[in-house]
Structure 1
Amino acid sequence: MRTDKPAGVLFDVDGTLVDTTYLHTVSWWEALRQTDQPVPMAVVHRSIGMGSDKLLDHLLGPERDRDADSKLRDAHDTLYAEYWERLTPLPRAADLLRACAERGMRIVLATSASEPEVGALRRALAADDVIDTITSSADAEQSKPAPDILVAALEQSGLAAERVVFVGDSVWDVVAAGKLDIPCVGLTCGGTSRGELAGAGAVAVYDDPAALLGELAESPLARPRG
């Protein structure tokens, strides 16, 4: 086991640090409605955290006519972009990043958002001073629940899987981390329940970044691996 690399924390961003899960839900719901493929909003919500390719497979079936996929993605992106200037960090998200950095951990945002979306998320979070590495959709061939974006985050940050913890808000985050044997701390602020996150394999579950920050000293983030 490598122990010469610094410990770090990989963070999902959408729904974990910035309050966007339901904005994505509404945007996908409307995009699907516009193309006469309505899906109940609760079902859409349970798919958020996947990339658009896997999300559409999950919602519409893998045998569907894919000719409309690009139109659906474009519609979602256009609708979601209307919220960019109003994006809001979740409670004490930036404080959590800074507290982890003060403990000597590298802070990595492992997001599969597009480059323009990443810019909007960074502006909302306002914590660039402690962020070491940020990924984007261009860094992953496959989206979650595949672990590609986590692999990219590790490679770009120089961290080893044995020395990190991942923080996310969806079942898909937990599943992706599990494929690399990275422990995942779940947050319920994206709308996924404590039971669902724990059932998927989360090693601990908190309400939001503020709750995790309040118990940071006793959390998995305070026990670097290796």
Structure 2
Amino acid sequence: MAYTNVLFDIDNTLVNSAFLIAETLQKSTLKEGIDIPVSRFRSLIGMPGDEILKRFGVENWQRVLERYSVDFSKNMYKLSYFTGIKELLEKLIQEKIKIGVVTSKNKKQFFDETKLFPEIADLKIITTSDDTEKPKPSGDPLLFTIHHHDLRKKSTLYVGDSMYDMQAAYEAGIDFAAASWGALPGTKFEFAKYVLKSPADLLTLI
């Protein structure tokens, strides 16, 4: 099927960031006297940070997120695109495909954390968690994006690495492609129309 619009998750889909996020959240939470393994944080990457902390029963989640933001900013130099992502974005733009991001980051986090990635920061289609009342895995962020930017569902593909991305696409009624290069091993993408082994595989769908 030919797609004219491609929407992406960011963390561990475009940018190799999930482990740094999980590690920073774990260290920030530990300072509250709560010891949660990094692996448990990693398993929930794809949800907003406040939702992750609330799920673990962290009462002072606002303070943890403030500490997280400071520490994460100091270590952003460790982040990078996955191999082939920058070239993929450039090629999609050359092919006149509308591209954008739908992320669980809030607006401040988005602009703070994409400073090193202008190809993402400069996109015209950007939906963050504070654009809708319900974040992913709700389909609302994707539906907001489709309506706000006058996109057609049938010609829109969402690309993400987590079950939360897949659930959001399923609820929104649009096709989903799993970015297996950033997904946790063993993740079952039962509602995915495509399971991509590399960013280059996406070009064959367009």
| TM-score band, normalised by shorter chain | 0.7 to 0.9
1:9-48 paired onto structure 2 within 5 Å: 9-48=6-45
Are 1:175 and 2:151 matched, yes or no?
no
Q: Please identify, of 184-193 and 21-30, the stretch whose mean Cα deviation from structure 2 is larger.
A: 184-193
Contact 1:97–1:130 (CA under 8 A) maintained in structure 2: no
1:128 deviation in Å? 5.7
Give the direction of change, closer, same or farther, for the CA distance of 1:130–1:28 in structure 2 (3 Å limit): closer
Higher helix share: 1
Q: Are 1:53 and 2:50 an aligned pair? A: yes
Following the alignment from structure 1 to structure 2, what is the Cα–Cα distance between the partners of residues 42 and 54? Answer: 16
Deviations 1:150-207 (A, max 9, x none): 22322332212232000011111111111011111111333413x41423x2222224
CA distance in 2, matches of 1:151, 1:121: 24
Alignment of 1:66-105 (within 5 A): 66=59, 68-105=60-97
SS at match of 2:30: helix
Aligned residues of 1:101 and 1:130 also touching (Cα < 8 A): no
Instruction: Note the aligned Cα RMSD (angstroms).
Output: 2.4
| Superposed counterparts of 1:142-153, under 5 Å | 142-153=134-145
Q: Select the residue among 212, 223, 226 that pairs with 2:199.
A: 212
Q: Give the whole-Å Cα distance in 2 for the aligned partners of 1:189 and 1:20.
A: 12
Distance 1:86 1:206 in 2: 25
Q: Distance in 2 between matches of 1:138 and 1:34?
A: 27
Q: Percent identity at matched positions?
A: 22
Distance change (3 Å), C-alpha of 1:81 and 1:182: same
Deviation for aligned residue 1:133:
1.2
Q: Counterpart amino acid of 2:43? A: R
Q: Structure 1 residues 100, 162: closer, same or farther in 2, change over 3 A?
A: same
The alignment of Structure 1 onto Structure 2 pairs a total of residues equal to 204
Contact in 2 for aligned 1:107/1:130 (Cα 8 Å): no
For the residue of structure 2 that corresponds to 1:198, the secondary structure is coil
Taking structure 1 as the reference length, what is the TM-score of the superposition? 0.79
Q: 1:45 to 1:161 in 2, by over 3 A?
A: same
5+ residue gaps, structure 1, are: 1-5
Deviation at 1:21, TM superposition (A): 0.6
- Unmatched tracts of structure 2, length 5 or more: none
Mapped contact 1:106–1:131 kept (Cα < 8 A): no
* Distance of aligned partners of 1:129 and 1:169 in 2 relative to their CA distance in 1, 3 Å threshold: closer
Aligned to 1:134: 126
TM-score, length of structure 2 as denominator length: 0.86
- How far residue 51 of structure 1 moved from its aligned partner, in angstroms, is 1.0
1:203 has 2:193 as partner: yes
Cα deviation for residue 129 of structure 1 reads 9.8
- Cα pair 1:84 1:120 within 8 Å, conserved: no
